[in-house]
Amino acid sequence: SHKLVQLLASTAE
């Protein structure tokens, strides 16, 4: 789940 991980890992809201 690439996008989910990307969004979780990003610090920006």
Partner 1 sequence: ILLSTVSPEQFVLTLLEAEPPNVLVSRPSKPFTEASMMMSLTKLADKELVHMIGWAKKIPGFVDLSLYDQVRLLESCWMEVLMIGLMWRSIDHPGKLIFAPDLVLDRDEGKCVEGILEIFDMLLAMTSRFRELKLQHKEYLCVKAMILLNSSEYAVASDRLSRSHDCLVPPCAVRPGPLTCFLFFVHSNKGMEHLLSMKCKNVVPVYDLLLEMLNAHTLRGQ
Q: What phi and psi values does residue 7 have, to the nearest 5 degrees?
A: -70, -35
CB of 11 to partner 1, least distance (A): 9
Residue 9 and residue 2: Cα distance in Å, rounded?
Answer: 11
Residue 8 and residue 2: Cα distance in Å, rounded?
Answer: 10
Binding-site size for partner 1 (CB under 8 A) equals 9
**Amino acid in the structure at residue 5:** V
Binding track over 1-13 against partner 1, x by CB under 8 A: xxxxx-xxx---x
CB of 9 to partner 1, least distance (A): 7
Binding site for partner 1 (CB under 8 A): 1-5, 7-9, 13
